[in-house]
Amino acid sequence: MAADQSPRHPVEDRTAALIDAVRLRLAEAGAPPTSGSVAAALRAARPPLGGGDTLDAVRALHAELVGAGPLDQLLNTPGVTDVLVNGPDEVWIDRGAGLERASAVRFADAEAVRHLAHRLATAAGRRLDDARPWVDARLPDGTRLHAVLPPIAAGCTHISLRVCRSRPFTLDELVAAGALPPVGAELLAGVVRARLSLLISGGTGTGKTTLLAALLGLVGPGERIVLAEDSAELRPDHPHVVRLQSRPPNQEGLGELTLRDLVRQALRMRPDRLVVGEVRGAEASDLLTALNTGHEGGSGTVHANTAADVPARLEALGALAGLDRLSLHSQLRSALDVVVHLAREPETGLRRVAELHVLTEDAQGLAVTAPAVTFTPYGECATGPGWHRLRERCAARGVELPRSPR
């Protein structure tokens, strides 16, 4: 026997047999694998186990039939933000300081990883099979799921899970965590009160959604926020939020609802704040059009390496909607006010607000950004060429920013 295929403990064998028995009872009864139905099936199975073994069996049953299998213990570990599965014995976690290997957690084989991906996709109400070998969805407990099947994923099914906090971060908590200095929180709060349109830019895992949710929590309680997202990820602490979520096509290729469809519908729902969770397609054109037609204070996130790259990024997305370059830049200059860029420190893994830019134009009339405020990892800040423009835009909306953020 190979070294990595050590004999299983007798209790593990009995637990595995009990899981199969409970799964069979649930199938015969046609009951969904909820906590209650699993407990009832377990009682009916009358397991010949001792107290401690029964407790282990209950935990294993819950993880296998309701939870995330062997990943449950990682998802429930305080501080874990991401759980990544690259193979049966390649499980990684992120506690906010970079990736580390979870060597104590492994799957029986590649088929077990695929089985878990299928079950999680089903729990999220999404399709995952050879015809559509990927899924991006939200699990019932709020965890974000992304999974890719072979042959798209070489060798083994890949699973990515992002843990959702029970409540969103506040700006004060982000300040305490070092994500931005107190003066940065004051400036962002002023931008929200002034109803300036903003995009939060940054790379993957820099905290764009976290910051956006915190800022939306500052919106006045009398305002109506309408969210359009591919997967329902934003959960702002606000009393009036309407959530719209896109949908992939069914097996016949029908019924697809794109993010662009959602943005168009959101405009008919009397939004005080229109929010696009992530701008990454032709919906960029509809969002800019909305922000140019009286929908002030809109916001969203976009992937970009720097704040200065955002106009070029939106230009590429606008081309997907058939907008020519000059038309896109003309809309962009009048629609977008502020770009908030996030970065992640390579050594410490700290996610932080790096800079605030305002929109302006160059000699050719194209939209460009100008730095208003930059922040160092040590909480220091400095103003840039766009600082006076930012103060003027806020003052025009009745919000006075300090003469200097220092």
Question: pLDDT by residue (tens digit) across 327-383?
Answer: 888 889 888 999 999 998 887 778 899 999 999 988 888 999 999 999 998 888 999
Say yes or no to pLDDT of 18 above 70: no
Q: Residue 264, CB half-sphere, CA atoms under 13 Å: how many?
A: 8
Give the pLDDT of residue 197: 94
- Give yes or no for a contact between 218 and 189, defined as CB atoms under 8 angstroms apart: yes
Percent of the chain with pLDDT over 70: 84
Asked which of 21-25, 182-186, 196-200, 275-279 is least confident by mean pLDDT, the reply is: 21-25
What sign has the CA pseudo-torsion 280, 299, 345, 233?
negative
Report whether pLDDT(56) > 70: no
User: Which of the four pLDDT bands, split at 50, 70 and 90, describes residue 3?
Assistant: very low
Strands of the sheet containing 90-94, edge to edge, are 99-101, 90-94, 82-87, 158-162, 144-148, 134-138
Give the mean pLDDT of 2-13. 46
The amino acid occupying position 321 is: A
Q: How many angstroms separate the most distant Cα atoms in the chain? A: 81
What is residue 119's three-state secondary structure?
helix
Can you tell me which residue has the tokens 């400095």? 382
Find the distance separating the first CA and the last CA of the chain, reported in whole Å. Answer: 66
Share the mean pLDDT of the chain. Answer: 84
Residue 33 phi, psi dihedral angles, 5° rounding: -80, 65
- According to the model, what pLDDT value does residue 263 have? 87
Rounded Cα distance, 317 and 400, in Å:
34
The per-residue pLDDT for 323 is 82
Q: Measured in whole angstroms, how far is the alpha carbon of residue 154 from the centre of its chain?
A: 25
Residues linked to residue 385 through DSSP beta bridges, in sequence order: none
| pLDDT higher than 90, residue 137 | no
Selection from 52, 28, 51, 23 nearest residue 38 by Cα: 23
Q: How big is the chain, counted in residues?
A: 406
Task: Please report the pLDDT score of residue 35 as a whole number.
Answer: 62
Instruction: Tell which wins on pLDDT, 41 or 239.
Output: 239
Whole-angstrom distance, CA of residue 69 vs CA of residue 73: 9
Tokens for 271, please give them.
């939004």
What's the rounded mean pLDDT across residues 164-185? 88
Q: Check residues 233 and 159 and name the one with the higher pLDDT.
A: 159
DSSP state of 68: -
Confidence of residue 175 (pLDDT cuts 50, 70, 90): very high
Written as six digits, the tokens of 21 are: 């028995």
Q: Count of H helices and E strands in the chain?
A: 13, 15
Cα angle 15, 16, 17; round to 5? 90
pTM over 0.85: no
Tokens describing residue 230: 């591919």
Report residue 252 as tokens.
């016949």
Residue 209, classified by CB atoms within 10 Å of its CB into exposed (0-12), middle (13-18) or buried (19+), is buried
| DSSP one-letter code for 350 | -
Describe the crossing of helices 283-291 and 259-266 by its angle, rounded to 10 degrees: 20
Q: What is the pLDDT of residue 220?
A: 94
Say what the pLDDT of residue 65 is. Answer: 57
Q: DSSP secondary-structure letter at 321?
A: T
Q: Are 128 and 146 in contact (CB under 8 A)?
A: no
The per-residue pLDDT for 33 is 61
Q: What is the pLDDT of residue 30?
A: 65
What distance in Å separates the CA atoms of residue 340 and residue 118, rounded to the nearest whole number?
Answer: 37
Compute how many other C-beta atoms are within 10 angstroms of the C-beta atom of residue 378.
8
What is the Cα–Cα distance from 351 to 174, expressed in whole angstroms? 10
What DSSP character marks residue 352?
E
Query: Between these two residues, 20 and 134, which has the higher pLDDT value?
Result: 134
- Backbone dihedral region for residue 365 (phi beyond 0: left; psi -120 to 50: alpha; all else: beta): left
Neighbours of 25 (CB within 10 A): 17
| Average pLDDT value for residue range 221-228 | 94
pLDDT at 57 exceeding the cut of 70: no
Judge whether residue 7 has pLDDT over 60: no
Q: What is the pLDDT of residue 334?
A: 87
Q: pLDDT tens-digit profile of 252-308? A: 777 888 888 888 899 889 999 999 888 888 888 888 888 887 788 999 999 999 999
- What is the per-residue pLDDT for 5? 43
Residue 12 has pLDDT above 80, yes or no: no
Question: Would you place residue 232 in the very low, low, confident or very high pLDDT band (cuts 50, 70, 90)?
Answer: confident
pLDDT (mean) for 48-53: 52
